[in-house]
Amino acid sequence: PLPPRATARLHPLPLLVGALFAAYYHLLVEPAPSYYQSLFLSLGSNDTAAAHLRALTVRPHLAGTEANALAADHVVSTLSSLSFPTRVTPYEVLLSYPVRRSLSLSAPGRDTTAFALVQDTYPGDPYAAASAEVVPTFLAYAASGSAATEVVYANYGRTEDYAYLASRGVNVTGKVALARYGKVYRGDIVKNARDAGAAAAVIFTDPKDYTPGKAFPDGPWMPPTGVQVGSTFKGVGDPTTPMWASSEGCERVSVAEAMATDDMPGIPALPVSGRDGEEILRLVGGDVAPEDWQGGEGAPVYHLGP
């Protein structure tokens, strides 16, 4: 009689895993890390990094502008020249640009001050011409509108700052909330002002927090007319496509619906320089603000208002 036949069925997954491990063993274990370090360093130098940085920053390139498209073209051409497969994918998103904005300060017995809302260049600035392309200082997604009313100083515009104002009997309702950058996101500063009942918000860059040393161009710190700009949207991505990709032909909420969400500031708001912020605070009356609400050396005494 023939000997019995031995049979067995093997699960293919271990063999597949084994084959993959053998195929990629050299990629996982070899070569040594120094190989990748050398490869990375061989792709560029300080000179090439400086050249790319200059090309990308020589002009202001706010999203949606021609200069932004040119910056993208530079990235595409650079990566393509290194044989990286590269493509540009367009997205249609809700962006915010300033049509016009103004800020003025009035008080009894003095002339009205109309703030320039311009960041000054400095003598000999080699990029002074590019400053003409800078988008005027604004806060993206702040609501359109105007307010002409008294000022209340709200420190950093945190919820606890408004709670303190309420404890001191300072009514924020219908007022312009003046707050300084720092501690919390600018979108929260404006939202907290709205939640406290303010009609509008102004955010200034306090030299106490942003100019502790020599100011640009003599040092690295914010100059007197420097203004911090940016978004006040608290969500992620395109406001008209919350939590999904803003691709062509996709479902969208309307602009009105997007602007009405709690992620939007909901009131007019402007950023101003430290110089402008201090000029406003010189005219704010009411009780003297606490010590930790005060500015730095040489600043006027900050009052709560209104």
The verdict on residue 36 lying in a domain is no
**Residues 282, 139 share a domain:** yes
DSSP summary character for residue 209: H
221 CB neighbour count, 10 Å cutoff: 14
Encode 121-163 in three state secondary structure.
CCCCCCCHHHHCCCCCCCEECCCCCCCCCCEEECCCCCHHHHH
The verdict on residue 300 lying in a domain is no
**Residues 251, 157 share a domain:** yes
Query: What is the C-alpha R_g of the chain?
Result: 28
Q: Determine the 3-state secondary structure of 99 from DSSP.
A: coil
User: Distances in Å between the alpha carbon of 279 and those of 223, 273, 276, 304?
Assistant: 15, 10, 5, 14
The verdict on residue 225 lying in a domain is yes
User: How many Cα atoms within 13 Å fall on the side-chain side of residue 115?
Assistant: 26
pTM of the model: 0.82
**Residues 246, 156 share a domain:** yes
**Residues 115, 264 share a domain:** yes
The verdict on residue 301 lying in a domain is no
The verdict on residue 184 lying in a domain is yes
Q: How many separate domains does the chain show?
A: 2
63 CB neighbour count, 10 Å cutoff: 9
**Residues 169, 235 share a domain:** yes
**Residues 78, 112 share a domain:** no
The closest of 210, 208, 242, 202 to 226, measured between CA atoms, is 210
**Residues 108, 61 share a domain:** no
CATH number for the domain including 279?
Answer: 3.50.30.30
Model confidence over 161-177: pLDDT tens digits? 999 999 999 999 999 99
| Contact status, residue 271 vs residue 228, Cβ threshold 8 Å | yes
Range of the domain at 78: 45-82
**Residues 178, 51 share a domain:** no
**Residues 210, 72 share a domain:** no
**Residues 224, 114 share a domain:** yes
**Residues 108, 78 share a domain:** no
Mean pLDDT per block of 10 residues along the chain (306 residues) reads 44 46 53 77 83 91 92 93 88 92 93 93 85 91 95 98 97 97 96 97 96 92 94 94 89 94 96 97 96 94 96
Model confidence over 181-213: pLDDT tens digits? 999 999 999 999 999 999 999 999 999 999 999
**Residues 116, 64 share a domain:** no
